[in-house]
Chain A
Amino acid sequence: MWRITRPLIRVGGAVLVWLACGIAPAAPIMDFVPPAAGTYKLERIQPATEGAVLDADGRGRRLSEFTYGRITLLAFMYSSCADPNGCPYALTVMHLVKGELEKLPVTRGRVRFVSLSFDPVRDTPQAIALYGRDLGGAGQHVAWDFLTTRSRRELLPILDGFGQDVGVDIDKATGKPVGTYSHVLKVFLIDRNRIVREIYTTDYLLPAMVLNDIKTLLLEDGVRLK
């Protein structure tokens, strides 16, 4: 099973709280051995959508800069998500998978992770920079970029293009947003040609499966894993 290690304690936001309180995200049950990497084909599901984003330095960028040229694992999230089976769980899985990939030097320049916030109001570049501190960065094989958008006007076409639903939770009495979002957790695996090859929701987001899928795409690209 996947062990919660010391580095995970340094993950910011809700995950830190959960772990400190001993309330780890509840993982789905995996009662099977995942098929070995390279023994199956991941279908070409849909193109990865283009869009306007902001990076953690606040610079305006194109999303395709983060989804083209490398195998990309992209998760939609927001930093104040407190659902243990939502964004914190995705963060945990991505961290665990990244840890395994870091053992493979061939992943350098070939694999990246992206967390894209759908809460541009609170997840400013400064906020997501803090959220993603310690998770990506120089000296690691697998870059992990944290992105947001300037506004919902830029965000909505991206969500719609990927098929990520997001609902604003409203207070019954006041009719005003309560600050949380309802969404089906979705993580997208994109090949280096910007084609989505796998989509994971919570019950499907299994670290061993994700790892094998990334390896399958690496093998498809002719990369020797050993």
Chain B
Amino acid sequence: MNDETYGKGLPRKIALALAVSATLTGALLSGGSALADETSCSPYTPLIKGQEDLVYVWTLGVKGVGDGSDKLVTVDVNPNSKTYGKIIHKLSLGGRGEVHHVGLSDDRRFLWGGALDSNKIYIFDIGTNPAKPKLTKTITDFVQKTGFVGPHSFIAMPGRMLITPLSNNKDHGGETGVVIYNNKGDYVANHPMPKEGGDGYGYDAAINPQKNVFLTSSFTGWNNYMMDLGKLIKDGEAMKRFGNTSVMWDMKTMKPLKVFQTPGAPLEVRWSWKPGDNWAVTTTALTSKIWVYKQDATGEWQVKDVATIGDPAKIPLPVDISITADGRGMWINTFMDGTTRYWDMSDPMKPKETFTKQIGSQVNMVSQSYDGKRVYFTTSLLGNWDKKGKDDEQFLKMYNWDGKDLKLAFEIDFYKEKLGRAHHMKFQARDLSTLKPLDLAQSPPAQPALVAQK
């Protein structure tokens, strides 16, 4: 395993300092030029323009594969690097807890990762040495503090983290809420999902600061997501227990504004960050629909089913999505057929599928670079839902996209590398030669007080 440290032999790159500034805190500044590097980022997280240097892959441990442990894997993705396309670091967590998603802090110095079964939340320092993440805190009392189970999405707010759990500790069903932690990893508050007009289920969240709102979606509870998929599909009663609603919230008051009927488990939610746009999108896993949220002439939020993905009768299972930086395109992955689909979103109310490519036997997550030219895919959905046998491919694949075709740039077989199931990804970029943390190393002499301290 190559454990090359970041500062050795790597070319100088655009400093994160240039990106991590107050200028680039979101896509909705009046200049309109700051847009997400990959679209599951919070608008409050500093953005990376240009070439990403690293991708972190949140990886589920598999019994008998390497150390069998969940882990955070770091891959060098700068094409100018000697270790391009190679794993340069891995951090094992010493157990398996069904790790799932990660989220960046509001200053991009920390990466939060959750486990849906153990309910642990891991906080990694990715700012001090981005090539060697360091575990700084493990939250082990999430259930005791909140009453919820399965911390799923981590969306940065100023000084805080918005967390969307999937389930609850009473019946392990789908009723849940949203939770706030401060950046130090201390619990702040929780707000139940509305049940009036809704099912009380949750999954993902996406913030629109310009409108002071955030949108949540819905999935299913622990009883279902930890069940073997083959067994689940045959359980008629269990199959009824999937979310069918999404909710628009007032971000300041943390009160629900409206509950939408979006049947069939609406999963990932994203806002278009194109200046002037004011719409959000989700896709439904069980009904294969694209839904778009917009305000009507009176200012009320409405949602509309605008397209169908694949053949719903075959339940292709739309999973992760990624909107392009200009809001004009969107990648949608379908898990069961291992396919990615590019949709023209120039008119979000009339999207068109313009490109299709099979990535593998199964595919889940998709992340794209700021300029859309590099697209990354991973495979795992859930430990008990991933395919079995030879169809259980686990990989990270990166493609170059020229607007017409995806061309494979590199791939890493996560089983061959004895890592596990490859899941969520986040980019990082930092040129340590041009940015150093504020510390005492170069500190000039202290200035004397003019008057003795009281």
A in complex with B: yes
Q: What is A's interface to B at a CB cutoff of 8 Å?
A: 26-32, 34-35, 39-40, 43-46, 52, 54, 57-62, 83-87, 89, 118, 120-121, 124-125, 150-154, 156, 159, 163, 165-172, 175, 177, 181-186, 188, 196, 199-204, 209
Cβ-defined contact, A169 with B107, below 8 A: no
Instruction: With A46-B186, A170-B433, A186-B158 given, name 8 new contacts (CB 8 A).
Output: A31-B210, A58-B449, A61-B454, A85-B23, A152-B438, A153-B446, A156-B439, A201-B25
Specify which chain B residues have a CB less than 8 angstroms from the CB of A124 in the assembled complex.
Answer: 447
Nearest chain-A residue to B252 (Cβ)?
A35
Question: How many angstroms from the CA of A150 to the CA of B435 in the assembled complex?
Answer: 23
For residue A199, give the distance in angstroms from its CB to the closest CB of chain B. Answer: 3
Cβ-defined contact, A150 with B22, below 8 A: no
For residue B145, give the distance in angstroms from its CB to the closest CB of chain A. Answer: 14
Q: What is B's interface to A at a CB cutoff of 8 Å?
A: 12, 15-18, 20-23, 25-26, 28-31, 43-44, 46, 106-107, 109, 127, 157-160, 180, 182-184, 186, 188-189, 209-213, 250, 252-255, 278, 433-440, 442-454
Specify which chain B residues have a CB less than 8 angstroms from the CB of A40 in the assembled complex.
Answer: 252-255
Specify which chain A residues have a CB less than 8 angstroms from the CB of B46 in the assembled complex.
Answer: 184
Cβ-defined contact, A175 with B433, below 8 A: yes
Cβ-defined contact, A39 with B447, below 8 A: no
Cβ-defined contact, B447 with A150, below 8 A: yes
Specify which chain A residues have a CB less than 8 angstroms from the CB of B433 in the assembled complex.
Answer: 170, 172, 175
Cβ-defined contact, A182 with B20, below 8 A: yes
Q: Contact check: which of B209, B252, B254 meets A28 at CB < 8 Å? A: B209
Specify which chain A residues have a CB less than 8 angstroms from the CB of B30 in the assembled complex.
Answer: 26-29
Cβ-defined contact, B453 with A52, below 8 A: yes
What number of residue pairs across chains A and B have CB atoms under 8 A from each other? 193
Question: How many angstroms from the CA of A151 to the CA of B445 in the assembled complex?
Answer: 7
Nearest chain-B residue to A216 (Cβ)?
B252
Interface SS of chain B: loop
Q: Contact check: which of B15, B160, B450 meets A199 at CB < 8 Å? A: B160
For residue B109, give the distance in angstroms from its CB to the closest CB of chain A. Answer: 6
For residue B379, give the distance in angstroms from its CB to the closest CB of chain A. Answer: 33
8 CB contacts below 8 A, A to B, read A35-B252, A59-B451, A60-B453, A120-B447, A168-B438, A168-B442, A171-B434, A204-B158
Cβ-defined contact, B437 with A167, below 8 A: yes
For residue A20, give the distance in angstroms from its CB to the closest CB of chain B. Answer: 21
Cβ-defined contact, B158 with A199, below 8 A: yes
Cβ-defined contact, A202 with B450, below 8 A: no
Nearest chain-A residue to B18 (Cβ)?
A182
* B433, B448, B450: most-surrounded residue (chain A CB, <10 A): B450
Specify which chain B residues have a CB less than 8 angstroms from the CB of A57 in the assembled complex.
Answer: 450-451
Cβ-defined contact, A60 with B454, below 8 A: yes
Cβ-defined contact, A201 with B252, below 8 A: no
Question: How many angstroms from the CA of A125 to the CA of B15 in the assembled complex?
Answer: 32
Cβ-defined contact, B434 with A46, below 8 A: no
Given contacts A184-B25, A201-B44, contact A43 B158 (CB under 8 A): no
* A152, A168, A170, A184: most-surrounded residue (chain B CB, <10 A): A184
Q: Contact check: which of A32, A35, A45 meets B182 at CB < 8 Å? A: A45
Given contacts A83-B22, A151-B445, A201-B25, contact A46 B158 (CB under 8 A): no
Question: How many angstroms from the CA of A175 to the CA of B431 in the assembled complex?
Answer: 12
Cβ-defined contact, A150 with B23, below 8 A: no
Cβ-defined contact, A46 with B17, below 8 A: no
5 nearest CB pairs, A to B = A60-B453, A58-B450, A199-B159, A151-B446, A86-B22
For residue B123, give the distance in angstroms from its CB to the closest CB of chain A. Answer: 12
Question: How many angstroms from the CA of A121 to the CA of B17 in the assembled complex?
Answer: 20
Cβ-defined contact, B442 with A177, below 8 A: yes
Q: Contact check: which of A60, A156, A163, A209 meets B438 at CB < 8 Å? A: A156
Specify which chain A residues have a CB less than 8 angstroms from the CB of B253 in the assembled complex.
Answer: 35, 39-40
For residue B74, give the distance in angstroms from its CB to the closest CB of chain A. Answer: 21
Question: How many angstroms from the CA of A109 to the CA of B161 in the assembled complex?
Answer: 33
Q: Contact check: which of B22, B31, B255, B453 meets A185 at CB < 8 Å? A: B22
Given contacts A61-B453, A170-B435, A199-B158, contact A204 B44 (CB under 8 A): yes
Question: How many angstroms from the CA of A84 to the CA of B448 in the assembled complex?
Answer: 32
Specify which chain A residues have a CB less than 8 angstroms from the CB of B106 in the assembled complex.
Answer: 184, 201
Given contacts A26-B29, A31-B210, A34-B212, contact A59 B440 (CB under 8 A): no
Specify which chain A residues have a CB less than 8 angstroms from the CB of B107 in the assembled complex.
Answer: 163, 165, 184
Cβ-defined contact, B210 with A29, below 8 A: yes
Q: Contact check: which of B180, B210, B254, B278 meets A30 at CB < 8 Å? A: B210
Specify which chain B residues have a CB less than 8 angstroms from the CB of A58 in the assembled complex.
Answer: 449-451
Specify which chain B residues have a CB less than 8 angstroms from the CB of A170 in the assembled complex.
Answer: 433-436
Cβ-defined contact, B449 with A60, below 8 A: yes
Given contacts A43-B180, A201-B158, contact A86 B23 (CB under 8 A): yes
* B26, B28, B438: most-surrounded residue (chain A CB, <10 A): B438
Q: Contact check: which of A52, A85, A151 meets B22 at CB < 8 Å? A: A85
Specify which chain A residues have a CB less than 8 angstroms from the CB of B254 in the assembled complex.
Answer: 40
Q: Contact check: which of A61, A150, A203 meets B25 at CB < 8 Å? A: A203
Cβ-defined contact, B20 with A35, below 8 A: no
* B157, B188, B443: most-surrounded residue (chain A CB, <10 A): B443
Question: How many angstroms from the CA of A171 to the CA of B442 in the assembled complex?
Answer: 14
Specify which chain A residues have a CB less than 8 angstroms from the CB of B444 in the assembled complex.
Answer: 121, 151
Question: How many angstroms from the CA of A200 to the CA of B189 in the assembled complex?
Answer: 18
Cβ-defined contact, A203 with B26, below 8 A: yes
Question: How many angstroms from the CA of A1 to the CA of B127 in the assembled complex?
Answer: 38
Specify which chain A residues have a CB less than 8 angstroms from the CB of B159 in the assembled complex.
Answer: 45-46, 163, 186, 188, 196, 199, 201
Q: Contact check: which of B127, B160, B184, B252 meets A209 at CB < 8 Å? A: B252
For residue A74, give the distance in angstroms from its CB to the closest CB of chain B. Answer: 12
Nearest chain-B residue to A166 (Cβ)?
B438
Cβ-defined contact, B436 with A152, below 8 A: no
Q: Contact check: which of B182, B442, B452 meets A46 at CB < 8 Å? A: B182
Cβ-defined contact, A83 with B21, below 8 A: yes
Specify which chain B residues have a CB less than 8 angstroms from the CB of A44 in the assembled complex.
Answer: 188
Cβ-defined contact, B435 with A59, below 8 A: no
Nearest chain-B residue to A39 (Cβ)?
B253
For residue A62, give the distance in angstroms from its CB to the closest CB of chain B. Answer: 7
Specify which chain A residues have a CB less than 8 angstroms from the CB of B16 in the assembled complex.
Answer: 182
Specify which chain A residues have a CB less than 8 angstroms from the CB of B434 in the assembled complex.
Answer: 169-172
